Amino acid sequence: MDAAPFSPTAVKAAFRDVTWMHVSRPAVRAAASVTQTLLTEIIEGATAAAAEEGVTKLRPRHLVTAIDRNVEVDVANEWYAYSPTFRALDGNAQSTDVPSRSGSARRRKSSAVVGAHRFEPGVRALLRSHRVRAVPAMVRELDGIAGVFVTGLARGAAMVVREGGVQRFGSVILTMPGEPAPALSPEEPLRAASAREGDRRTIGTRDVLDATTFQLFGSTIRQRALTEARQAAHAYASA
């Protein structure tokens, strides 16, 4: 797997917005890799939707189609509440300006857009690697999803550190109504609480991987993300 397009500096900054804990460099690489896996899946789905229309530039409607077709990438609810694209779908496209206590109108930044445009260079690099182009609105949407997702990873990893491990009592398996649940994969066994090694001040690779297991609820994308993140962290540690 190539180096993640999302810079370690941007990822680390997102973690600092959430927690005072130190984040190890391999953990930062793992978080960048997981984010790349998610965005790659979304971009591939949007590209397929655009190809069906015979257009070459990705637009927000292609993002919506990609998410509709693959529920495993539907992970950025906090961004959807802010995004003009998804607000319009809900019939709630009014301005996000709200009156302050003094009566003047000021834009309130939600936690979903703290560090806005932070991941835009990585999004553009990822689009180039797939040889696809996107309109500015699509780049903004992908940047927002990446920002919210990394923030969620940071919160989850910090929680794992505080609680000394993560409890997993099963897996989320997506099925259509009326369809039987597939057999449990050997890679997804039922497990009790996993003990955590290390201090309570540092987020490590394992903490990011544990956070990934409940940020990505779909078994297919989760296993792919975990595998690629382990490879990225190992490659960095071996360099």
188, with CB counted inside 10 A (0-12, 13-18, 19+), is middle
Collect the ranges in the chain with pLDDT lower than 50.
1, 93-111, 168-177, 179, 181-182, 184-193
53 phi and psi angles, rounded to 5 deg: -90, -10
pTM of the model: 0.79
Closest among 42, 45, 37, 43 to 4, alpha carbons compared: 37
The pLDDT of residue 89: 83
The pLDDT of residue 175: 45
Dihedral (CA of 34, 42, 145, 130) sign: positive
Tokens of 120: 């835009």
| Chain CA centroid to CA 122, Å | 13
Helices (H), 54-201: 60-69, 77-80, 84-89, 120-129, 136-163
